[in-house]
Structure 1
Amino acid sequence: MYFALTDEQQELVRTVRSLVGKRAGSLDLRAAVATDPGYDEELWRALCEEIGAAALAVPEEYGGAGFSYLETHLVLEELGAGLTPSPLLGSGVLATQALLLSGASDACRRLLPALADGSSRAALVWADTEGRWPLAGSGVTATPGEPWRLDGRATLVLDGVGADLLVVVATTASGPGLFEVLPGHEGTAVAATPGVDLTLRFADVEFTGAPARLLTADAAELLPRLRAVGAIATTALQTGAAQRALDLTVAYLKERVQFGRPLGSFQALKHRCAHMLVAVETARSMSWAAAWSVANAQDTVERQAALAKSWCSDAFSMVAGEMVQLHGGIAITWEHDAHLYFKRAHATAQLFGRAAEHRRALIPQR
């Protein structure tokens, strides 16, 4: 099968790349990370208003653009290339997909339009205190009543600080459920958690009798799909960053002269770059195939997620490590971006399951 992007999808990629590049000229990565929200608010507003980045995978009936997840995936890949921090993964993918998968049409009509146009941000609260995304629920328990009450703690909440809405996976007496909580209500405490990757913002969320609105009491079937979508979206960031790491390394080897010759002319280094290229191209193929399965609602989404996440995590880690090695001493300086790609590789390798966990999931159970 020959798989390639359509003309419209290619134009989307070019537009996002141009917009991100122009904005980076006035507010670079380090300056954006140092702001209170942790990302360039002007860029995020432009992505939502000019491109509709957060609306691409939202149906038109809920105020979206009515495209598919694949288009969102392509935007994530471009943002990943520049390590561009934004709420797209946390709000535009994780929380938005959780609402769509819940089947709560009234809640979708009420909440998704603001998420789609970027005027509101949401965060998915799920990972337990061990940093895992359990399919049986979470470290948060829900007690029925009017309203429901939530108790417990969740970690690794992407863009949790400053979110206007929390979509919470909680354990009920009958199994996992999905709830809506507005930050700032009584019994809800959100605290920023420092991470190795400065471009990703995490938070811990603790509930103490926090009032919540039930979205669905039967989330057992949607959680595997939601975790798979999270893993696949992460591979978009990994693939984009791996490609940029390769490009920067090749450019450096062409410019850096040693022993009277460009470093790139040495055959041993050519071989290492060739291995990096193979890793990047195969990672992109795996990532796009998984994104296509989500966009077309295939039954193989969870398997594709395991294949893509395991491969892309290892590929990006290898490419980032080679980037540091081939840049020599400058790669470990704060001023150079190589260490940022290395940190992004290690951080995203943990998100939604490590490579070894996904490979184990692919082994048939006897």
Structure 2
Amino acid sequence: MSEVDLLYTDVEDDLRVTVRDLLAGRCDPAAVTAMYDGDRSVVGDLWSTLAADLGLAGLLVPEERGGHGASAREAAAVLEELGQAVAPVPFLTSAVIATSALVGSDAALLTELAAGERTAALVVPWSTPPDGVLPAVALSDGRLTGTVTSVAGAVEADVLLVLDGDGGALHAVPVSAATVTAVSSLDMSRQLADVTFEGAAGQVVVADAEAAVRRGLDLGAALLSSEQLGVARWCLTTTIAYLKDRRQFGRVVGGFQALKHRLADLYTEVESAAAAARYAAATAANGDPDAVVAAAVAQSYCSDVAVHAAEEAVQLHGGIGMTWEHPAHLYLKRAKADEVALGTPGRHRARLANLVDLPA
């Protein structure tokens, strides 16, 4: 196994700063909170700026297809910043998972995705692990019929990638040809939807698609850990800043030894999560044989850390952490939703056991 560098490159650092600056001015927590009342107005302009103006939609697309030919490392840097802002954009679902499933095909859709002209969603339940059972809809006379529930990214997509149950081909179906029913979700900044096809016509974009779909899910699981790292870092940093200012009984709350111990433990967890997420991204970028193992490790660990960090943020902020106006609840909801996304931590630990031949 070759040596893997976990340090950020200058390009990655510059990309992080660019995305962070944009989100600071365009992704106010109040606007994300408003999504729970049905106001999704923040999504369109924010995603358009990230996808087209900054060109992030084409980050993983080869240059000859109109993209930037970047790697999973750069995508991971973006996802860290998106996680720190709980940004309600379909970068992970469209620019990572759906796009990765199409890389290697000659579909014109890939070029349109790279340019930010289209947004795609892979029609699988958001809880589907990379090695899980893939849903397939019925194919008859070239038309698709069936329903797939709890799909992430479908609300924002204008093209749906669906696997048929006949020959296992991947079809690109315009969202206008399907029924997308948004459902109430724990994390409304990544709202799920049920997708129904009733004799929908689509274009075959990948003929033998199972390997392509699993490739997209594998990369999605690996890079989801970077988003979870971003969530955990925001929770830790914000909580430390609050405890440095909050006073009780005439003392700064952060000076109490019991709280210092909790924060020290949380800091250690977050730094360990950073190492796991960075390793998963680096091995995915290099095509390392250890990439699947690294993704399972990162997902099983970073999921738990993000939830723990968010729970500590809510509790250690005291009464204000329980309010609707404070953004802590947004991070707790994202962390809990991410915990079951693309496979639960337990599912990834079971997969890891098989990968490294641990006895039952």
Q: How far apart, in 2, do the equivalents of 1:162 and 1:223 lie? A: 20
Instruction: Give 3-state SS (helix, strand or coil) of 1:163's partner.
Output: coil
Match of 1:179 among 171, 174, 178: 171
Task: Tell which deviates more after alignment, 257-266 or 163-172.
Answer: 163-172
8 Å contact from structure 1 (residues 37, 162) kept in 2: no
8 Å contact from structure 1 (residues 137, 170) kept in 2: no
> Is the alpha carbon distance of 1:28 and 1:206 closer, same or farther for their aligned partners in structure 2, counting shifts above 3 Å?
closer
Instruction: Write the deviation string for residues 109-128 of structure 1: whole angstroms up to 9, x where unpaired.
Output: x1122212222111110229
> Is the alpha carbon distance of 1:164 and 1:191 closer, same or farther for their aligned partners in structure 2, counting shifts above 3 Å?
same
Task: Tell which deviates more after alignment, 188-197 or 214-223.
Answer: 214-223
Q: Which residue of 2 aligns with 1:73?
A: 76
> Is the alpha carbon distance of 1:168 and 1:355 closer, same or farther for their aligned partners in structure 2, counting shifts above 3 Å?
same
The answer to whether the aligner puts 1:61 opposite 2:64 as a matched pair is yes
Q: How far apart, in 2, do the equivalents of 1:120 and 1:37 lie? A: 18
> Is the alpha carbon distance of 1:162 and 1:241 closer, same or farther for their aligned partners in structure 2, counting shifts above 3 Å?
closer
> Is the alpha carbon distance of 1:132 and 1:7 closer, same or farther for their aligned partners in structure 2, counting shifts above 3 Å?
closer
> Is the alpha carbon distance of 1:162 and 1:224 closer, same or farther for their aligned partners in structure 2, counting shifts above 3 Å?
closer
Aligned residues: 353
Q: Which residue of 1 aligns with 2:151?
A: 157
Aligned-residue RMSD, C-alpha: 2.2
Q: Which residue of 1 aligns with 2:121?
A: 123
Q: How far apart, in 2, do the equivalents of 1:150 and 1:138 lie? A: 16
Q: Which residue of 2 aligns with 1:221?
A: 211
Question: What is the letter of the counterpart of residue 152 of structure 2?
Answer: L
Q: Which residue of 1 aligns with 2:15?
A: 12
Q: How far apart, in 1, do the equivalents of 2:136 and 2:41 lie? A: 27
Alignment of 1:42-57 (within 5 A): 42-57=45-60
* TM-score, normalised by the number of residues in structure 2: 0.91
Deviation, 1:5, is: 1.1
The answer to whether the aligner puts 1:267 opposite 2:257 as a matched pair is yes
Q: Which residue of 1 aligns with 2:226?
A: 236
Question: What is the letter of the counterpart of residue 190 of structure 1?
Answer: V
> Is the alpha carbon distance of 1:136 and 1:41 closer, same or farther for their aligned partners in structure 2, counting shifts above 3 Å?
closer
Deviation, 1:303, is: 1.6
Instruction: Give 3-state SS (helix, strand or coil) of 2:340's partner.
Output: coil
Deviation, 1:230, is: 1.6
Q: How far apart, in 2, do the equivalents of 1:88 and 1:355 lie? A: 22
Task: Tell which deviates more after alignment, 258-267 or 1-10.
Answer: 1-10
The answer to whether the aligner puts 1:23 opposite 2:13 as a matched pair is no
> Is the alpha carbon distance of 1:133 and 1:189 closer, same or farther for their aligned partners in structure 2, counting shifts above 3 Å?
farther
Instruction: Give 3-state SS (helix, strand or coil) of 1:127's partner.
Output: coil
Match of 1:98 among 97, 101, 113: 101
Deviation, 1:34, is: 5.7
5+ residue gaps in structure 1? none
Q: How far apart, in 2, do the equivalents of 1:212 and 1:150 lie? A: 8
Question: What is the letter of the counterpart of residue 7 of structure 1?
Answer: D
Q: How far apart, in 2, do the equivalents of 1:11 and 1:209 lie? A: 47
Q: Which residue of 2 aligns with 1:348?
A: 338
Match of 1:307 among 276, 290, 297: 297
Deviation, 1:73, is: 1.5
The answer to whether the aligner puts 1:251 opposite 2:241 as a matched pair is yes
Q: How far apart, in 2, do the equivalents of 1:99 and 1:36 lie? A: 32
8 Å contact from structure 1 (residues 139, 153) kept in 2: no
Q: Which residue of 2 aligns with 1:140?
A: 136
Q: How far apart, in 2, do the equivalents of 1:137 and 1:354 lie? A: 14
Instruction: Give % identity.
Output: 40
Q: How far apart, in 2, do the equivalents of 1:112 and 1:33 lie? A: 32
Q: Which residue of 2 aligns with 1:287?
A: 277
Q: Which residue of 2 aligns with 1:297?
A: 287
8 Å contact from structure 1 (residues 167, 178) kept in 2: yes
Q: How far apart, in 2, do the equivalents of 1:38 and 1:355 lie? A: 33
Instruction: Give 3-state SS (helix, strand or coil) of 2:202's partner.
Output: strand
8 Å contact from structure 1 (residues 245, 338) kept in 2: yes
Ranked by relative contact order (alpha carbons within 8 Å, sequence separation 6 or more), the top structure is 2
Q: How far apart, in 1, do the equivalents of 2:53 and 2:313 lie? A: 34
> Is the alpha carbon distance of 1:134 and 1:3 closer, same or farther for their aligned partners in structure 2, counting shifts above 3 Å?
closer
8 Å contact from structure 2 (residues 143, 202) kept in 1: yes
Deviation, 1:271, is: 0.8
8 Å contact from structure 1 (residues 96, 115) kept in 2: yes
